Amino acid sequence: MASLETPPDPDGIYDARGEVPLARPITQGDVFRGVDIPGFDESVPAVIITQHPCSMRAGSRLRERIMVSAVRPRQTIHSKDWQGNASAMLLPNLLEDSKDYQADFRDSGSVKTIELSRASRIASLTNYGVQVLHQRNIYYHTRLTVDIKTLAETYDPIATEIELQYDWVESALNSKDDVALSDETLKAISVAEKEFGDYLDANDSALRKGLQNSISRADVRRQVRREMMNRYGE
């Protein structure tokens, strides 16, 4: 019988904290500062994207609005807390300042995607971290505990697409002289993301369809990475 996941190493849920690489696609589990949730009287310190990447993306582009939950400081998180706190995603040491936070699923809302800027992104989760978030979110809404292995298997296709999009944009940016945060860099990211989406969708979306099957996923990676090297060099 599955139970809510207790991460053996809480640091293992984070892919980046503090400064998140600009090339990393905006996706589920990303944490942003300075975003207000419509309908809330008070500002919240941060928000986290809770929406599944399959439903927040149209191809490789983001939809106009995305679901987020409020992130606030909380008391120290202990190992046993992962089995409770069913209405929250626990975010221990979120900013690497030894303070713990939680995302409260009860305080959720839809925000304009344009407000979730890369400049205000302060953390992102690993695939495992996203699965923990997803498991807790499902449990909060349905009282159903889905095991992490099944969540991971279902998440693999979109995780692969996000990883390849990250590689693609990183390569596109690396081929330029200046990759500091600027309007020009953000525009270059947007262009690269569109090119990536177009490449996946070519030939009746053969590559995108290939992502859905573990038998063809390695081959899709090879093709996409070779194409990246052809376009942008090493």
Select 32 or 155, whichever has its Cβ closest to other proteins: 155
Select 107 or 170, whichever has its Cβ closest to other proteins: 170
Question: Cα separation of 198 and 73, whole Å?
Answer: 41
Binding segment (CB under 8 A) for other proteins, from list 25-33, 107-115, 153-161, 177-185: 153-161
Binding mask 174-213 for other proteins (x = CB under 8 A): -----------------------------------x--x-
Residues 6+ positions from 95 with CB-CB distance below 8 Å? 17, 18, 101, 122, 123
Query: Which DSSP string corresponds to 143-200?
Result: S----HHHHHHHHHHHHHHHHHHHHHHHHHHHTSS--SSSHHHHHHHHHHHHHHHHHH
Least separation in angstroms between CB 127 and other proteins: 5
Residue from the set 48, 49, 116, 158 that interacts with other proteins by CB under 8 A:
158
**Residue 231, interface with other proteins (CB under 8 A)?**
no
Kindly give the interhelix angle for 148-174 and 214-232, rounded to the nearest 10 degrees: 10
Residues 11-40 that bind other proteins (CB under 8 A): 12, 15-16, 21
Question: Cα separation of 46 and 122, whole Å?
Answer: 9
Task: Write the Ramachandran bin of 90: left for phi over 0, alpha for psi from -120 to 50, otherwise beta.
Answer: beta
Residue from the set 18, 40, 43, 54 that interacts with other proteins by CB under 8 A:
54
**Phi and psi, residue 144, nearest 5°:** -110, 130
Select 53 or 101, whichever has its Cβ closest to other proteins: 53
Residue numbers at the binding site for other proteins (CB under 8 A): 1-2, 12, 15-16, 21, 54, 126-127, 146-147, 149-160, 163, 167, 170, 209, 212, 214-222, 225-226, 229
